[in-house]
Amino acid sequence: MIKTLDDFIREYTKICNMGWIRTHRAGPTGIGKTLEDLLCIQENNIDGPDFGDYELKSCRINSNSMLTIFTKTPQPKGSANTLRMTFGYSSVAYDNNEKVLHSTLSADRYVPIANTGHSLKIVCDTAKISIAAEDRKEYAYWTRAELKKAFEKKYKNKFVYAKANAQGTGANEQFKFVEAYEVSGFDYDGFVSLLEQGKIYIDLRIGQYHGGAKNGQTHDHGTAFRIKENDQDLLFKIKRKIV
């Protein structure tokens, strides 16, 4: 089991020399599971270091797959319900006419919302990050201060990012690990810049409770800030190639 950064560099170099390795699990998390197994790191869902002071991340080079950076319901209270009722649409996922709102928003363009005739966009200003419609009216927001606090809490550890080429799909996907970086210092200004450039997206996943006492009421499944897998290390101030 690896305990230090030097341990990681030694063992990861061996993995890079192995060439193509078949995934240990089908799907998006296959690359992380495969690398953890090869490094003898036990899989867990704990928000903390995987070895020593480091949290291990891995990604497919040139992948368009999206990773969730953070989830946070916007303000003011009740804004998720306002968004759903104003811009939502009926879905075959439910046996009633209540609305849902599933959309991936960007700051570089207005995104059409299904067949509603409406569009939404992310707007960044000096105080907050907002969701606005085509009439430029703000319907929900996050203050920059609360996002900075939340993200710094989420990314308080140091990280090692391992990158691999990938080929094939599903259970037949293969990885060829080629490089790794030590990264640290969450860059909040960089985060906002990436958001403004349209490289960070916000996923709205607002539905309704299905059954029970809350049947039909608004259910925010986790409004998520997301980034392409291969861009995640851009969120950090310090980046040093170690392999």
Between 188-196 and 144-154, two packed helices, what is the crossing angle to 10 degrees?
Answer: 120
Query: Tokens 């060439």 identify what position?
Result: 19
Phi, psi for residue 7 in degrees, rounded to 5: -60, -45
Q: What is the pLDDT of residues 209-222, one digit of tens each?
A: 877 888 778 888 88
**Separation CA 54–CA 238 (nearest Å):** 14
Q: What is the pLDDT of residues 58-77, one digit of tens each?
A: 999 988 888 888 888 899 99
Q: What is the pLDDT of residues 75-131, one digit of tens each?
A: 999 999 999 999 999 877 665 667 889 999 999 999 999 989 999 999 998 899 999
pTM for the model: 0.80
Sign of CA dihedral 70, 168, 179, 34: positive
Tell me the average pLDDT of the chain: 90
The answer to whether 111 touches 87, Cβ cutoff 8 Å, is no
